[in-house]
């Protein structure tokens, strides 16, 4: 398999007043196309920072990140935003759905940045909702859905533009165990059946079992690599 993500000598430093805090220390990571990777570690270990760098939500202080052969650490803000919209789907712990919009309209949101017609946007959103098993909930607003259903809507939104990469930050952190297993099973199906590369931050060892590989971070460094 080809490498989708290549990270070399990656560092991230935040400045708090006169103090500099190095959150990531010289990280090297490769993620192959079609892999499902879990990032684990205690709070403050740097795993969400690493995920945000992979997804182009932040820029490193040093080192390089290539995704699909593109050096995203060298992109300007406008080019990076365009790259994110085309190449990455984001799934967050608290869903980030617009409360006044239906599931259908929430899923369509990323497509508003494209030149697709309203009819084509609606069609693609319907396909994405069908993939996550919520075709019959398209007209429902978030308050009319369970937590697990809301997270599945957010996954539909993440895949509606057909990105190669899904980055997931504690996607089951706010769910009961059954809903969590449903969401994790969906992510695994998107990985196995639809070829999506998934990088997921989680505290939950049971969630990590759904991944193909697990990387452990502690105090900004990789401390071990295990195969699930």
**Average pLDDT of the segment spanning 167-177:** 87
Residue 147 burial (10 A CB sphere; 0-12, 13-18, 19+): middle
- Token pair 């195969």: residue: 227
Q: What does the pLDDT read at residue 226?
A: 46
Q: Using one digit for the tens of pLDDT, what is the confidence trace for 43-76?
A: 888 889 999 999 998 899 999 999 998 899 999 8
Contact (CB, 8 A) for 199 and 51: yes
Label residue 1 by pLDDT band (50, 70, 90): low
Rounded CA-CA distance 78/87 in Å is 14
Nearest to 89 by CA among 179, 198, 7: 198
Secondary structure of residue 174 in the 3-state scheme: coil
Q: What is the mean pLDDT of the chain?
A: 88
Select the more confidently predicted residue: 16 or 180. 180
Q: In the CATH scheme, what is the code of domain 35-57+87-227?
A: 3.40.50.300
Contact (CB, 8 A) for 64 and 4: no
Rounded CA-CA distance 228/196 in Å is 18
Backbone φ, ψ for residue 70 (5° rounding): -100, 125
Q: What is the pTM of this model?
A: 0.89
| Domain locations in the chain as residue ranges | 35-57+87-227
């Amino acid at each position: 398999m080809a490498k989708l993500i290549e990270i070399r000598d990656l560092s991230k430093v935040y400045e708090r007043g006169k103090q500099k805090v190095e959150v990531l220390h010289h990280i090297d990571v490769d993620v192959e196309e079609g892999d499902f990777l879990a990032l684990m570690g205690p709070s403050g270990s740097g795993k969400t920072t690493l995920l945000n760098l992979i997804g182009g939500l932040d820029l490193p202080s040093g080192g390089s990140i290539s995704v699909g052969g593109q050096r995203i650490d060298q992109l300007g803000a406008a080019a990076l935003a365009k790259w994110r919209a085309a190449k990455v789907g984001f799934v967050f712990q608290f869903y980030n759905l617009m409360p006044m919009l239906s599931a259908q309209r929430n899923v369509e949101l990323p497509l508003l940045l494209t030149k697709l017609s309203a009819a084509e946007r609606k069609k693609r959103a319907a396909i994405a909702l069908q993939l996550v098993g919520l075709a019959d909930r398209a007209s429902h607003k978030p308050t009319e859905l369970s937590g697990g259903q809301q997270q599945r809507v957010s996954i539909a939104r993440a895949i509606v533009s057909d990105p190669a990469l899904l980055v997931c930050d504690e996607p089951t952190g706010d769910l009961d165990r059954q809903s969590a297993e449903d969401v994790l099973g969906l992510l695994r199906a998107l990985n196995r059946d639809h070829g999506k590369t998934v990088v997921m931050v989680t505290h939950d060892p049971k969630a990590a079992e759904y991944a193909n590989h697990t990387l452990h971070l502690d105090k900004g460094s990789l401390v071990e690599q295990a195969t699930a």
